[in-house]
Amino acid sequence: MESFVIGLTIFVLAIFVGFEVITKVPPTLHTPLMSGSNAISGITLIGAMISAGSQHTMLTTILGFSAVVFATINVVGGFMVTNRMLKMFQKKDR
C-alpha cells in the first residue's frame, strides 16, 4: 500500500508539472509537441524489455517481445520525426 501511495503522489505531482510546462508551448509547435510527448509515452518500452527478457513463460515472452516492437516503433519513430519537424522550424531562425 505504501508504495502505491508514493506512486500516486508522484503521478499527481507530475501532472501538475506537465500542466505548468506544456501550457507554455506556443501553438506553432503543437504538432511537434504531440509527436515528441508521444515518443516519451513509449517509455513503456522498459517494462516491455523486462517482460521479454525475464522468460517466465512462453506467454509473457511473446507479449513482452510484441510490446518491445510496438514501443520501439513509438520511441524511435516519435523522436526522429519530431527532430525532422523541429529542424524545419529552426533553419528559418538565422
Which residues, at least 6 apart from 20, have a Cβ–Cβ distance to it below 8 Å?
none
93 binds other proteins (CB under 8 A): yes
End-to-end CA distance of the chain: 54
Which residues, at least 6 apart from 77, have a Cβ–Cβ distance to it below 8 Å?
39
Helices (H) then strands (E): counts for the chain = 5, 0
| Min CB(79)–other proteins separation in Å | 4
| Min CB(87)–other proteins separation in Å | 6
User: Which residues ranging from 8 to 67 are in contact with other proteins (CB under 8 A)?
Assistant: 10-12, 14-15, 17-19, 21-57, 59-61, 63-67
| Min CB(13)–other proteins separation in Å | 8
2 binds other proteins (CB under 8 A): no
